[in-house]
Amino acid sequence: MTVNEIRAKYLEFFKARGHAIIPSAPLVPQNDPTTLFTGSGMQPLITYLLGEPHPEGARLTDSQKSFRAEDIDEVGDNRHTTFFEMLGNWSLGDYFKQEQLPWFFEFLTDVIGLDPSNLYVTAFIGDERNGVPRDTEAAELWQNLFARKGVEAKIVPIGSESDGYRLGMQGGRIFYYDAKKNWWSRAGVPENMPAGEPGGPDSEVFYDFGTPHDPRFGAECHPNCDCGRFLEIGNSVFMQYLKQKDGTFALLPKQNVDFGGGLERIAAAAQGNADVFAIDVFADAIALLQQFSDKEYADGRYRKSFRIVADHMRAATFMLGDGVRPSNTERGYVLRRLIRRASQHAQKLGIAAEKREDSMLVRSSIIMLEKYKQHYAELEGEDAYERVTAEIWKEEVQFAHTLEKGMKEFEKIAATGHIEADEVYTLFTTYGFPFEMTLELAQERGLDVDQIGFQKLMEKHRELSRAGSEQKFKGGLADTSERTTRLHTAHHLLLKALQLVLGPAVKQRGSNITQERLRIDFSYGAKLTQEQLARVEEIVNEKMDEELPVVRSTLPKEGAEQLGAEHEFGAKYPDIVSVYSVGPKGATAEVPRFTEAFSIEFCGGPHVSNTAELKGPKGEAVFKIKKEEAVAAGIRRIKAVLE
């Protein structure tokens, strides 16, 4: 069963059960400054999981494009990928465990055809210290579901992951684990949750490929073992508790279901092959690479390189489709690293190219475009083809020049007779010279490389790169603090003010909002004058002083477009959308008075309820533009604050 077939079957399955199919959000998060990429299915929906009504209703389903940069170095084994699709279904205060677990079990066994005897599940063991009970309801539901398929399902309490390596399977099929494995909240385990934070137990489903246990990972095997025998294919999160001021937990008045299932992993389970790179989207690219490299994927010396090229080219194709371009900062740096790492491994396979049409990176990306264009419109058409392949080839050529410079620097270092850790680090970070290449060249010359020292420097580098991210909510969720909410609403006023001063052709091309400042990227071909900037500031402050209502409405997408509502360039929206309008005075949710509004935008929140709130609790704040600059041809950037 192909990836496209499984995705279609999943969406149709939940549509038949009353779910609205919503489009995937872009890989580049909207109004979320805490993370570079969308890394999970629930990330774009967090405001709705926290109580904001979704315009499509209380039952939703989708397949969300996701990317996790932290997995780049893990790619090469049989299951890690950087880009993936997360199948999702959500209940926003509607159904709960009694519907969710049977539905997912039915989908896996009756629709996909997985043998239930190869499925194992986990549930939350409870947390006595924090007064959260064991999730016996989920375990009993699973036991009954397996019994209907004639499978005995013994329940085994495990506890921690390390306990699993000690206790092993014990003939079980349903396993209780602690909060580190089977609890979800934005702040992590129950004791870390602040008052007012929602959370709840989750229940994971694993597929058993039946491969022998590798004792290097632990004495005994268990579902959460990393030896490769078990692969997690789905996780149902049950948001049912709210942390109280006294540290106890109370039931939420509306309980949510947040399900995420790895599409590629389900496809691997469907074919009974633990190697995720054997599924169709990778297998065709690998077959192409085999043909032109004259090397075999089955040859363990080259398998990692085949996997890296296939994975990285799929991820790069989707990034380019969503507007990311190679650069030395943020998202562009990640994309550049993907393409260059793929280029390095293509060279290992002996398939370097001298022109675009011969590039295996380009050809691999074309395979991905063909595989995915039916479901993702941004990958369809001549424009997408040219945009993706041209950028990949340009980066491949530039990397060849970079390697040439790095080679000269390597020769200087090698001439000293030894290669220190900081020199390897400089080659990698300054010259883009891959560590594996440094190691191979050093070995050819009989030189030692301080690999341990280099890895320590790299770990420090990664920690700096992640600085601050671990203090954010798990999954890179958006900050919904009061200060950020005020700036988010000011962002709406700023966009409209720019259009009034510079002309209606001005369109938003990106945004980033923190507690300290807002940033907007917009289309305009010239530097703004001081007079223009002053007038933009003046308009925003006028609207704050006018104390205009900020009204949320839900409308059909076509109706919102006819009203002229602003929306993100290239973004896909559901058939029913949330629209926020600012003004006029007297406007309400029941009578929004769109034609008199100052601004109207597609947006999911959060916002203040009146522009007067932008001035702060004491009415002292004013809107100030701090910086205006060019970021690309025809694109300007403004950073502004409320101070």
Residues 106-125, mean pLDDT to the nearest whole number: 98
Q: In whole angstroms, what is the distance from residue 492 CA to residue 485 CA?
A: 11
Q: In whole angstroms, what is the distance from residue 285 CA to residue 273 CA?
A: 18
275/571: higher pLDDT: 275
3-state secondary structure of 138: helix
Residues 214-234, mean pLDDT to the nearest whole number: 94
Residues 511, 321, 380, 394, Cα dihedral to 10°: 140
265/604: higher pLDDT: 265
158/409: higher pLDDT: 158
Q: Closest by alpha carbon to 182, among 232, 242, 245?
A: 232
Q: In whole angstroms, what is the distance from residue 79 CA to residue 53 CA?
A: 36
Q: In whole angstroms, what is the distance from residue 3 CA to residue 194 CA?
A: 40
pLDDT by residue (tens digit) across 438-467? 887 888 888 988 888 888 888 776 665 555
Residues 304-324, mean pLDDT to the nearest whole number: 95
pLDDT by residue (tens digit) across 482-526? 888 889 899 999 999 999 999 998 998 878 888 888 999 898 989
Cβ atoms of 515 and 484 closer than 8 Å: yes
Residues contacting 476, CB < 8 A, separation 6+ = 29, 32, 34, 35, 39, 40, 43, 469
- Letter for the amino acid at 627? K
pLDDT at 478 over 50: no
Residue positions counted in the chain: 643
pLDDT at 120 over 80: yes
Q: Closest by alpha carbon to 422, among 473, 395, 457, 383?
A: 457
pTM more than 0.95: no
**pLDDT for residue 18:** 97
Please tell me the chain's helix, strand, coil percentages from 3-state DSSP, rounded to the nearest 5. Answer: 45, 20, 35
pLDDT at 260 over 70: yes
Residues 549-560, mean pLDDT to the nearest whole number: 86
Question: Bridge-partner residues for 638, per DSSP?
Answer: 520, 628
pLDDT at 123 over 50: yes
The distance from CA 284 to its chain's CA centroid, rounded to whole angstroms, is 25
pLDDT by residue (tens digit) across 145-187? 999 999 999 999 999 999 999 999 999 999 999 999 999 988 8
Tokens at residue 137, please?
């309801």
Residue 386 CB coordination number (10 Å)? 10
Q: In whole angstroms, what is the distance from residue 75 CA to residue 261 CA?
A: 19
3-state secondary structure of 514: coil
Least confident of 47-56, 157-166, 234-243: 47-56
Cβ atoms of 607 and 550 closer than 8 Å: yes
Please list, residue by residue across 495-526, b when 16 or more beta carbons sit within 10 angstroms of its beta carbon and e when fewer do: bbbbbebbeeebbbbbbbbeeebbbbbbbbee
pLDDT by residue (tens digit) across 133-146? 999 999 999 999 99
DSSP state of 551: E
Q: In whole angstroms, what is the distance from residue 121 CA to residue 143 CA?
A: 10
Phi, psi of 248 (to 5 degrees): -85, 175
Cβ atoms of 264 and 276 closer than 8 Å: yes
Angle at CA of residue 171, ends 166 and 173, nearest 5°: 100
Residues 352-359, mean pLDDT to the nearest whole number: 82
Sheet with 635-642, edge to edge strand ranges: 508-513, 518-523, 635-642, 623-632
Tokens at residue 508, please?
């938003």
pLDDT confidence band for 618 (50 / 70 / 90): confident
Q: In whole angstroms, what is the distance from residue 424 CA to residue 406 CA?
A: 11
Structural domains present in the chain = 3-276 (3.30.930.10), 279-415 (no CATH), 482-642 (3.30.980.10)
Range with the largest mean pLDDT of 71-75, 204-208, 391-395, 583-587: 204-208
Residues 554-579, mean pLDDT to the nearest whole number: 80
- Letter for the amino acid at 44? P
Distances (CA, A) of 34 to 37, 404, 478, 512, 514: 9, 36, 6, 9, 8
